[in-house]
Structure 1
Amino acid sequence: MKFKGITDVFFDLDHTLWDFDKNSALTFEKIFKINRVDVNIDDFLTQYVPINLKYWRLYREDKIAKEDLRFTRLNETFKVINFEANDDLVYKLSEDYITYLSTFNHLFENTFEILDYLSENYKLHIITNGFDEVQYKKMSHSKIEHYFDTITNSENAGVKKPNPVIFNYALDLANTNASSSVMIGDSYEADVLGAINIGMDVVYFDIYNTTIDSNIRQINNLIQLKKYL
């Protein structure tokens, strides 16, 4: 059933439009080659992905700083795979990762098609927990920035999703309200529950085929948004 009364559509960026996992893997391949880090990329990523998610959760909960996130996720992964990396190398890799991440810009299937479709009838916006200096580059380099009227990130808002402050900040910036807006994102906690808690409608982008509340609209391909919007 299609939403009614919606004027504004808010998207998360990473894992929703911008294919973070693919772009991140390509970035690590590049910076490992540049810095002559001899590790098996598949073994590294197998450990890094859940470790990164763990530290992002801590960052989202304001339990660690941005600098701690960037260093510790790499340092812990190297320890788990028994690769000796001194602090200087870890810091260098963490800096190179941020530098090169936005040079890879794979988007999820049907991103352009759904943005073209939605932009005819709705104002589109971004709400992201990502870092200010990186997120704008991702959107610009992947050629999707022009679709969005406003871009809200956690560094500008001063808090991270699911904190209601960032959603209200984004709504104010967009000059709209919760009852006229829908949030689309991949994080059940940050995007779905965060938006529901301030009265927004939601669509859960279920890229990992998880089981959640059956009352919440779910998609696993962006083109399926046409069922609701």
Structure 2
Amino acid sequence: MKIKNISHVFFDLDHTLWDFDKNSALAFQNIFSNRKIDLNLADFLKVYQPINFEYWERYRKDEVTKKALRYGRLKDSFDSLKYTVTDDLIDELAVDYVDLLPANNHLLDGGKDILDYLNKTYQLHIITNGFEEVQHKKLKNAGISDYFSTVTTSEEAGVKKPHPKIFETALNKSAARPENSLMIGDNYEADCTGAKTCGIKSIFFDYYANREKIDVIQIKTLNELKTYL
């Protein structure tokens, strides 16, 4: 069933269009090779991914700074594996990671196809809690920056999703009205609850297949958007 009266579609980026897990793994693969880190990559990622998720949740709630996130997620991961790394090296690895992460450009399955499909009918936009300097590189390197009329980051807005101000900033930039807008993202609280606060409809992308019991449309693949748009 199509959602009516939509002119503007706002996407989250990481875990919604951009394949963060795959691109992150490739970045660490390069780092471990270049820096001679003697750890099994799969073992590291198994520990790192939930730690990184937790740090991003804390960052979203303003419980940690950007600097603390970049350092802490690595420090805690290495500590969990009982692998000794100096603070200076962790700082260097944090810089390496931010430099290498946007160099990889894998999208989630159906990402390019759905953008081609939607771009014919809707104005497309990005709203992301990711870092300003990194997110624009991701879009450019993945070859999808031209699809989006506007890109709004939390650093630009001064607040993070689900704060209403970041959605209001995006609406103002795009000259979009809430009642004609739709938000699509993988974080129910940040993307869907935040959008609802501003009167914006939303679709939850169940990236981790958790089958949440929530009051919004859920999709498991990007291609399912064609059912609603």
TM-score, normalized by the shorter chain, greater than 0.5:
yes
Show the counterpart of 1:112.
Answer: 112
1:130 correspondence with 2:130: yes
Show the counterpart of 1:62.
Answer: 62
Deviations 1:26-66 (A, max 9, x none): 10010111111111111111110110111111111111110
Cα distance in 2 between the residues matched to 1:145 and 1:101: 17
Show the counterpart of 2:71.
Answer: 71
User: Match of 1:102, SS?
Assistant: helix
Which letter does structure 1 place at the counterpart of 2:107?
A: L
Unaligned runs of 5+ in 1: none
Show the counterpart of 1:11.
Answer: 11
Deviations 1:45-100 (A, max 9, x none): 11101101111111111111101000010001000000000101100100000000
Q: How does 1:32-181 map to 2 (within 5 A)?
A: 32-181=32-181
- Name the stretch that deviates more: 208-217 or 137-146: 208-217
Show the counterpart of 2:29.
Answer: 29
By how many angstroms is 1:159 displaced? 0.4
Which letter does structure 1 place at the counterpart of 2:90?
A: V
Query: Aligned in 2, Cα 1:62/1:215: closer, same or farther, shift over 3 Å?
Result: closer
Cα distance in 2 between the residues matched to 1:33 and 1:158: 36
User: Match of 1:209, SS?
Assistant: coil
Cα distance in 2 between the residues matched to 1:35 and 1:88: 13
Percentage identity across paired residues of the two chains? 50
Unaligned runs of 5+ in 2: none
Cα distance in 2 between the residues matched to 1:95 and 1:214: 38
User: Match of 2:103, SS?
Assistant: coil
Question: Structure 1 stretches (4+) deviating beyond 4 angstroms?
Answer: none
Deviations 1:116-141 (A, max 9, x none): 11111110000000001100000000
Query: Aligned in 2, Cα 1:127/1:197: closer, same or farther, shift over 3 Å?
Result: same
By how many angstroms is 1:211 displaced? 2.7
User: Matched residue pairs, number?
Assistant: 229
Which letter does structure 2 place at the counterpart of 1:87?
A: D
Which letter does structure 1 place at the counterpart of 2:33?
A: K
By how many angstroms is 1:214 displaced? 4.9
CA RMSD of aligned residues (A): 0.8
Q: TM-score, normalised by structure 2?
A: 0.98
Deviations 1:94-113 (A, max 9, x none): 00000000111100111111
By how many angstroms is 1:213 displaced? 3.3
User: Match of 1:202, SS?
Assistant: strand
Which letter does structure 1 place at the counterpart of 2:223?
A: I
